[in-house]
Amino acid sequence: MEKNTSRKQLPAFMVLCIISLVAAVVLAATNLITRGPIAEHQAAELQATLSTVLPADTYEAVTVPEGYSVTSLYEAKNGGETVGWCVTASAMGYGGNVAVTLGVDKNGAVTGCVVGDLNFAETAGYGARAREPEFQNQFKGLDAVAGGTFDALSGATVTSDAVRKATNNALTCVVAVGLGQTPADPVVAFSEK
């Protein structure tokens, strides 16, 4: 007596289709659940960065005209009066884009600097030193119109160059759009040692 051992099985492509469909539904659900908290976290991070470089009551986004290589420009206001601008630009570093956010008061003085954002990926011990207060504090007081210099990071030439490029792009925009003046070219350069 022979047993009939053949059972009907789903073809392999059907199994793969079902697995793919289930995975897509799970990913879509995860995206819907996490979208709100991620946006809130990014907004909180932006608010913290802006208030670090130029404290103000409110920050209003400014439309950046064509031709400027900046990520964002905000007008900082206290009691409805403009106190300055916060501008962010980025340039390619060693581990990816290096964002630089600067505060500039209405007299053209840089009030603060934050290097890096949530995507900062420069090399630990070298390029990552750009996030240290000692490096960032050297930008405070720079004249956004006339320009100035800063000390590059030793051993992190690519990161330092990215910070220089991003800073020049940011200050060129805020001086032209916010202050209505013509900036130096370049605005910042490396200090000569």
pTM for the model: 0.80
Using 50, 70 and 90 to split pLDDT, how confident is the model at 5?
A: low
For the segment 11-59, what is each residue's pLDDT rounded down to a tens digit? 888 889 999 999 999 999 998 888 888 888 877 888 889 999 999 999 9
Report the b/e string of 145-164 with b at 16+ CB within 10 A.
Answer: bebbebebbeebebbbbbbb
Among 143, 134, 135, 131, smallest CA distance to 105 is for 143
Give domain status of residue 79, yes or no.
yes
CB 152 within 8 A of CB 190: yes
Residue 143 lies in a domain: yes
Number of domains the chain is built from: 1
17 within domain boundaries = no
Q: What is the pLDDT of residue 1?
A: 55
Give the helix ranges, DSSP H, for 54-156. Answer: 133-136
**Helices within 54-187 (DSSP H only):** 133-136, 157-173
pLDDT at 6: 60
Structure tokens at 147: 């320009």
Range of the domain at 143: 49-190
**Helix residue ranges, H only, the chain:** 12-53, 133-136, 157-173
pLDDT tens by residue, 136-170:
999 999 999 998 999 999 999 999 999 999 999 99
